[in-house]
């Protein structure tokens, strides 16, 4: 008999970017046995869900997000036996395991695409999106790749183009083909049979494309100096992203995963809040990452507006993130140094009271800024390398990540940014984050009780009450006071240290760029 409440309610997740987390064999690439060696740390931190980025066989054009075998483990990351051992070790510590599934595209080296390319008349051809050239011989339409240039590559042998919203080595699957849907049902089941508790669905908003392959409306001019992300944003992606039929896929997946209470968590970059909310409607995805806070600089007014709107549209359907492996780290984006750290922790503290499932990205709990590269760029779009540098475990060679030369050449982190140093320093960011996770666990009202927004005249101040817990986030650059309806309160957590505070008044003083968690009687 299933529990009435999903196991992920009240949980906190942690993203492990496997390539850069922990290397067990000295080849400079993180692996599954390396993750096993760090599970006690994650348990100590207070993590409930361990999300593993792709470890599947892949030529590595996009660091594992170009999959050549969905039911296997790349030798660089270990073996299927290592995966089974990792699942057992995670479960043995009372945590859950989530893996990435990458359904929008395969690797160009996947057997499906090899067959599709070599035999244009064969059934495998229909697994991908092919189209004849435009009348001028160019790409079939004006769709762009996220990574630059047209979203089409010409197959000279057949004279047709294949579609790819990312690299040309990542051909997009044709989700209108029943065979693709059947195969992914089987892929999900295969991993569930190995003990997986959840799937993070990569690019969940892009699986279905317009059947007529119509042009996207252009909304801004293009110029040669544009970054690929800027060029992509110069179009209204009306026909290549966020098609209504996407939801049908996840309704089907819910039938596969629901009976085993396996979580479906989508990477959804759809218009907010309504577009996002459609993906987590009953019977579809359980939750979707709200990615906007991980994409922006320090704009507290806009940030608070987005958080409230998104929460109200899907109160339990949002997974809150301030960073991930795709964007610069929040400490860097939010101003750098102590200011960036203070702002990051203030926002994360607010996340913990918004329902849904917050996730940390590896190293976020250390207050890490972006790493500094010493070599060439490794990222196809040259903006993600700084957040992907090795996890700093100690002050030894390569910060304890590997006994060999890491796959990405970056400067050594200072000792104060390492796990070993921060565990020995009670005032370090690591202990602030650990206390925050512990607070959420020990005060279930933070995520379980109904949320009531409290009025604030200042757009840079956000306040809410959940049962016995009141949370006040002051994201302004100045201290502020906030009126409560009772004098019987105490501060149980502050995103930065505050002195002793009397609860004999119904007014609480919140320092600048700080979030307080109060327990009221």
- From 124, 202, 364, 370, the catalytic residue: 202
Question: 204 and 216 in contact (C-beta within 8 Å)?
Answer: no
Distances (CA, A) of 366 to 9, 77, 174, 369: 25, 25, 41, 9
Instruction: Tell me which of 267, 326, 364, 385 is the catalytic residue.
Output: 267
The Cα 19–Cα 23 span in angstroms is 8
Query: Would the CA dihedral through 379, 382, 384, 387 be positive or negative?
Result: positive
Say how far apart CA 26 and CA 397 lie, in whole Å.
12
Q: Is 202 a catalytic residue?
A: yes
CA atoms of 407 and 20, how far apart (whole Å): 8
Q: What is the DSSP letter of 186?
A: H
* Sheet-wide strand order for 49-52: 318-320, 287-290, 263-268, 198-201, 96-101, 49-52, 13-16, 359-361
| Location of structure tokens 């960073």 | 323
DSSP calls for 293-334: GGT--S-HHHHHHHHHHHHHH-TTSEEE-S--TTS--HHHHT
CA dist., res. 107 & res. 57, Å (int): 10
Which of left, alpha, beta for 64 (phi over 0: left; psi -120 to 50: alpha)? left
H helix or E strand, kind and range, residue 361: strand 359-361
Positions annotated as catalytic residues are 202, 267
């Amino acid at each position: 008999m299933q529990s009435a409440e999903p196991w992920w309610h009240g949980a906190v997740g942690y993203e492990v970017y496997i390539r850069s987390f922990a290397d067990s064999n000295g080849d400079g690439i993180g692996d599954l046995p390396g993750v096993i060696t760090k599970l006690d740390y994650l348990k100590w931190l207070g993590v409930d869900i361990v999300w593993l980025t792709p470890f599947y066989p892949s030529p590595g054009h996009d660091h594992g997000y170009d999959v050549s075998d969905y039911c296997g483990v790349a030798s660089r990351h270990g073996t299927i036996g290592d995966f089974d051992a990792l699942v057992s070790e995670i479960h043995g510590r009372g945590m859950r395991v989530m893996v990435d599934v990458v359904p929008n595209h395969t690797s160009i080296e996947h057997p499906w695409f090899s067959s599709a390319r070599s035999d244009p008349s064969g059934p495998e051809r229909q697994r991908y999106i092919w189209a004849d050239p435009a009348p001028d011989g160019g790409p079939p339409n004006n769709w762009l790749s996220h990574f630059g240039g047209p979203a089409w590559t010409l197959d000279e042998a057949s004279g047709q183009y294949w579609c790819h919203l990312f690299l040309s080595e990542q051909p997009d699957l044709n989700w209108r083909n029943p065979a693709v849907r059947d195969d992914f049902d089987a892929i999900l089941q295969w991993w569930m049979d190995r003990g997986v508790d959840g799937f993070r669905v990569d690019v969940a908003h892009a699986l279905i494309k317009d059947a007529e392959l119509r042009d996207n409306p252009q909304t801004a001019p293009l110029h040669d100096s544009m970054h690929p992300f800027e060029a992509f944003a110069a179009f209204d992606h009306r026909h290549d992203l966020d098609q209504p039929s996407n939801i049908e896929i996840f309704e089907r997946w819910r039938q596969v995963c629901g009976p085993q209470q396996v979580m479906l968590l989508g990477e959804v970059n759809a218009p907010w809040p309504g577009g996002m909310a459609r993906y987590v409607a009953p019977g579809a995805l359980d939750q979707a990452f709200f990615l906007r806070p991980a994409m922006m600089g320090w704009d507290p007014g806009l940030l608070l507006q987005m958080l409230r709107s998104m929460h109200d549209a899907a109160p339990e359907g949002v997974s809150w993130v301030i960073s991930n492996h795709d964007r610069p780290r929040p400490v860097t984006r939010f101003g750098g140094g102590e200011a960036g750290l203070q702002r990051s922790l203030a926002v994360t503290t607010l996340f913990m009271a918004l329902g849904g499932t917050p996730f940390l990205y590896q190293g976020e709990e250390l207050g890490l800024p972006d790493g500094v590269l010493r070599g060439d760029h490794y990222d196809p779009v040259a903006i993600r390398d700084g957040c992907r540098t090795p996890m700093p475990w100690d002050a030894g060679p390569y910060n304890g990540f590997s006994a060999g030369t890491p796959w990405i050449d970056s400067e050594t982190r200072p000792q104060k940014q390492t796990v070993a140093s921060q565990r020995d320093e009670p005032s370090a960011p690591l202990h602030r984050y650990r206390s925050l996770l512990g607070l959420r666990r020990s005060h279930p009202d933070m995520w379980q009780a109904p949320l009531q927004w409290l009025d604030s005249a200042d757009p840079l101040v956000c306040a809410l009450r959940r049962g016995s817990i009141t949370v006040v986030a002051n994201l302004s650059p100045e201290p502020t006071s906030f009126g409560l309806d009772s004098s019987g309160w105490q501060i149980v957590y502050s995103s930065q240290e505050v002195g002793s505070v009397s609860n004999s008044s119904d007014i609480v003083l919140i320092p600048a760029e700080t979030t307080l968690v109060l327990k009221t009687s």
